């Protein structure tokens, strides 16, 4: 049997369908206006910064650096970096290698060299002198300025 081609039944189905589509579109617009989560706070500007770290004259491959603002600010996250095989690092604040906000910083360094335990490699004790692991005792400082920053070598 062929479907009915009665124009009045098609018109009735269309009249029920369009209010549904309009309601669906209105709901989608409302969701889009409200957003899907918390608004992110405005990010501070960051500037590329890179340098090197050596320990006893050798690249400190695997060490991690954290920069601590000398004048603390709640809205500024601490820039960090991991030292590469050649001793180089690039600071990151929000995304990998994006840099650091302007300011004067105290630098702390930690380096948990890998040690063999059975057939596994695990993080061993920190080999960096304790003086450099605490922002209150570290005498390592850097200044981040607007633009590219080639930081002085950190020699431990």
- Percent pLDDT > 70 in the chain is 74
105-136 b/e (C-beta count within 10 Å ≥ 16 → b): bbbbbebebeeeeeeeeeeeeeebeeebeebe
Whole-prediction pTM: 0.71
- Give residues with Cβ within 8 angstroms of 94, minimum separation 6: 43, 46, 77
pLDDT tens per residue, range 26-35:
555 455 555 5
pLDDT for 64: 98
User: Which H/E stretch holds residue 29?
Assistant: helix 7-34
Domain boundaries defined on the chain: 49-155
pLDDT value of position 46: 97
The fold adopted by the segment(s) 49-155 is Immunoglobulin-like (2.60.40)
Strands 154-155 and 49-55: parallel
How do residues 74-88 score in pLDDT, each as one tens digit? 788 999 999 999 999
């Amino acid at each position: 049997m062929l479907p009915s081609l009665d124009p009045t039944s098609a018109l009735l189905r269309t009249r029920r369908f369009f209010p549904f589509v309009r309601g669906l579109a209105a709901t989608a617009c409302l969701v889009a206006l409200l957003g899907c989560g918390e608004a992110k706070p405005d990010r501070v500007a960051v500037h590329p910064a890179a340098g090197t770290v050596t320990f006893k004259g050798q690249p400190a491959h695997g060490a991690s650096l954290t920069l601590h603002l000398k004048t603390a600010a709640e809205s500024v996250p601490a820039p960090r970096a991991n030292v590469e095989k050649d001793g180089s690092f690039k600071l990151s604040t929000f995304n990998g290698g994006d840099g650091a906000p302007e300011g004067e910083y105290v630098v702390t360094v930690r380096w948990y060299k890998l040690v063999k335990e059975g057939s596994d490699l695990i993080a061993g004790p920190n080999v960096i002198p304790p003086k450099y692991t605490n922002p209150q005792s570290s005498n390592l400082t850097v200044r981040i300025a607007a633009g590219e920053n080639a930081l002085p070598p950190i020699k431990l």
